[in-house]
Amino acid sequence: MTLRNRFNIWLTGLIERRKKKRFLAGLASAGRNIHLCRGYSISSPNKLSIGSNTWIGENLFAKCEGGLIIGNGVIISRGVEIWTANHNYDSEDLKSLPYDRRFILKPVNIGDNVWIGSRVTIIPGVSIGEGAVIGAGAVVTHDIPPLAVAGGNPAKVIKYRNQEVYEKLKSEKRIYLDIEYDYDVSTLRKSEYLKKYGK
Ligand SMILES: CC(C)(COP(=O)(O)OP(=O)(O)OC[C@H]1O[C@@H](n2cnc3c(N)ncnc32)[C@H](O)[C@@H]1OP(=O)(O)O)[C@@H](O)C(=O)NCCC(=O)NCCS
């Protein structure tokens, strides 16, 4: 690889990390070790909280006006859409069609250690309980209980995780992204992290 190519790769990485750092600084709150993959489109980031050891897959589309909380240890696959506001389309005093300028805000809450499969859509107002799994392609229109495995449109509970195994791993702090990455990938390269924290 030529020196020029190496320089370009280094520069692209630097720009990308700076962009992420700025983005994370603008959130309502951000934990450590947040993997934010490319292609995200996130509105009102000041209404978004992301916990530690989280993975936000490619092309996340999230409208956060109504408030979005993503817990610790959450893994979101690619192409997921999260909505926290509906257009006002059905009130007595509706001003225009199909909807008017007003929005109905409904927060979305994603509990700790939830795994969301690819191309899931989450509708405003939904809470996904701790440890739940949402199958690929699901449209989540109602709350999902903790430890449930849910799928389909509208998403329905298919089964439940093994609670005993879940609680044991939780008590031992066996969180996948914490184990896989021993440095904070949110903003730093491993070498920078080691230099700063000597971990
Ligand atoms: C939800 C999921 C984890 C369940 O996997 P599993 O435990 O192996 O489940 P099974 O394949 O045994 O399926 C159990 C039942 O759920 C149904 N089901 C499985 N996944 C489903 C989905 N995404 N939507 C709707 N129903 C689903 C199956 O059809 C089956 O129904 P049946 O009992 O009537 O035949 C898996 O199907 C899935 O969607 N994985 C996500 C893949 C993905 O997005 N990966 C990204 C990597 S980050």
Q: What is the CATH number of the domain that holds 43?
A: 2.160.10.10
Residue position matching structure tokens 């903790």: 146
Which domain range does residue 58 map to?
A: 34-88+96-162
Q: Which residues contact 135 (CB under 8 A, 6 or more apart)?
A: 117, 120, 149, 150, 151, 152, 155, 158
Structure tokens, 73: 């240890």
Ligand 1 atom 27, closest CA: 151
* Chain segment 52-61, per-residue pLDDT in tens: 999 999 999 9
User: How confident is the model over 74-86, as a mean pLDDT?
Assistant: 98
Residue 184 maps to a domain: no
Ligand 1 atom 40, closest CA: 135
Residue 195, pLDDT > 80, answer no
Residue 169 carries which side chain, given as an amino acid letter?
L
Residue 191 maps to a domain: no
Q: Which of 87, 95, 168, 190 is catalytic?
A: 87
Q: Which residues contact 76 (CB under 8 A, 6 or more apart)?
A: 54, 55, 56, 57, 60, 70, 110, 116
Query: Among 158, 161, 165, 176, which is best to mutate for testing ligand 1, by the most ligand atoms less than 8 A from CB?
Result: 158
* Chain segment 135-165, per-residue pLDDT in tens: 999 999 999 999 999 999 999 999 999 999 9
Residue 80 maps to a domain: yes
Domain count across the chain: 1
**pLDDT bucket at 194, cuts 50 / 70 / 90:** low
Q: What share of the chain is helix, strand, coil (3-state, %, to 5)?
A: 25, 25, 50
Residue 126 maps to a domain: yes
pTM over 0.85: yes
What 133-139 contacts at long range (C-beta under 8 Å, 24+ apart), as own/partner pairs, is 133/161, 136/77
